[in-house]
Amino acid sequence: MSIKNDEFGPERVIEVYDQKTGMWGVLVVDNTARGPGKGGMRFVPDVTTEEVFGLARAMTWKNALAEIPFGGAKSGIRGDPKTVNKEAFIRAFARKIKPFIPDYYIGGPDMNTTEKEMAIFADEVGTPLAATGKPSSIGGLPHELGSTGFGVYCATLVAAGFVNIDLNKLTVAIEGFGNVGTFTMKYLTDKGIDVVAVSDSKGTIYNENGLDFENLLDTKSKKGTVTAYKDGKILSAEDLFKLNVNVLIPGARPNVIHAKNVNDVKAQIIVEAANIPMEYEIEKVLMKKGKMVIPDFVANAGGVISSYCEWRGYNEKEMFKIVEEKIINNTELVLNKTVGNDTRAAALAIAKERVSDAMSKRGWK
């Protein structure tokens, strides 16, 4: 294992193994100066301690920027969820890391873990405070409520307002029509904004006059793809990134904008709904051209803000209000502090300052 500690962490790296089930897992608590370490639990065959540390550090910044009283952490369970006894693995992992919950770690869904696994994890630890993203029947606020997409919508409005684009004339293209993409489109179209293109793994559907949300949702659920939508042109999934729209929202996969297509991006504003839809170097290419990039950990923080609300026992209505306030305030703050279009540098500086301040106040430095 080759994790280099720095002034922020990680505070704890705990690798666990359960002899009976053969479960291997890891918990990395990066920094708890602002509160218990919060981050998802991924369940994949090749998870490594280094990978989990990278994700834990990202959570330290994300939670600080979202301005919620959580530190950063992440956990991983190694196993193929299709072949191992998933429930037994989750329960074994919960027993091993129980001493750190919830003071140092609070779980949440990530790759191959959903509200179902969060319910099992919390049950095994013995407290609902062990995880967020639990089913609503046991007091959870699941991601299925659409908090992340709602936050992406709020960030988009702030970004458009910042460059004075008239919302009535705004055109938007969204990559992905999963949890994040559907709710982003729903809130944008409710506001009367034209979403002109949406993609999924089968391709892009495009209509310059706008797509109908309910119709698209119905088409996707009945036919399995947005490209079966009747009233539009079918393009490739890759073509979405080249469209002449005001706002481009990559909302599905990592590294979709790269050296080969970055110069084809015509949108003036790119709101990163997915995690790492492009590397920082690629963002800088867009920034140099005068484009506005709302970084992932600013735009897609609705999910972690919802987690905090669940942890505090707030209801759905209160949660949406808090997501709205925090995403709007933090996006405005980042844009106001940005020098030379480098929104990521500004966002990171704000997050680091908040963590450093909490560490100083606790006498940790």
Residues annotated catalytic, as ranges: 74
- The residue type found at 271 is V
For ligand NAD, the closer of residues 27 and 66 by Cβ is 66
- Asked if residue 179 binds ligand NAD (CB under 6 A), the reply is yes
For ligand NAD, the closer of residues 175 and 194 by Cβ is 175
Which parts of 30-177 fold into alpha helices (H)? 49-66, 86-97, 115-125, 147-162
Q: Which residue has the tokens 């179902």?
A: 116
Question: What's the closest the beta carbon of residue 81 comes to ligand NAD, in angstroms?
Answer: 14
| Cα–Cα distance for residue pair 349/362, rounded to 1 Å | 20
The secondary structure element, H or E, covering residue 206 is: strand 203-206
| Cα–Cα distance for residue pair 304/297, rounded to 1 Å | 10
- Asked if residue 274 binds ligand NAD (CB under 6 A), the reply is yes
Binding region for ligand NAD (CB under 6 A) out of 22-30, 84-92, 249-257, 326-334: 249-257
> What are residue 8's phi and psi, to 5 degrees?
-100, -30
- Asked if residue 224 binds ligand NAD (CB under 6 A), the reply is no
Q: Which of 9, 35, 140, 303 binds ligand NAD (CB under 6 A)?
A: 303
Please write down the HEC assignment for all residues of 168-188: HHCEEEEECCCHHHHHHHHHH
For ligand NAD, the closer of residues 26 and 256 by Cβ is 256
- Asked if residue 275 binds ligand NAD (CB under 6 A), the reply is yes
Binding region for ligand NAD (CB under 6 A) out of 5-13, 32-40, 66-74, 193-201: 193-201
Phi-psi category of residue 110: left, alpha or beta, with phi > 0 → left and psi -120 to 50 → alpha: beta
For ligand NAD, the closer of residues 95 and 253 by Cβ is 253
Who's near 336: CB < 8 A, 6+ residues apart?
A: none
Binding region for ligand NAD (CB under 6 A) out of 69-77, 246-254, 283-291, 344-352: 246-254
- Asked if residue 12 binds ligand NAD (CB under 6 A), the reply is no
Which residues in this chain contact ligand NAD in the complex, by CB under 6 A?
A: 143, 148, 175-181, 199-201, 237, 251-253, 273-275, 300, 303
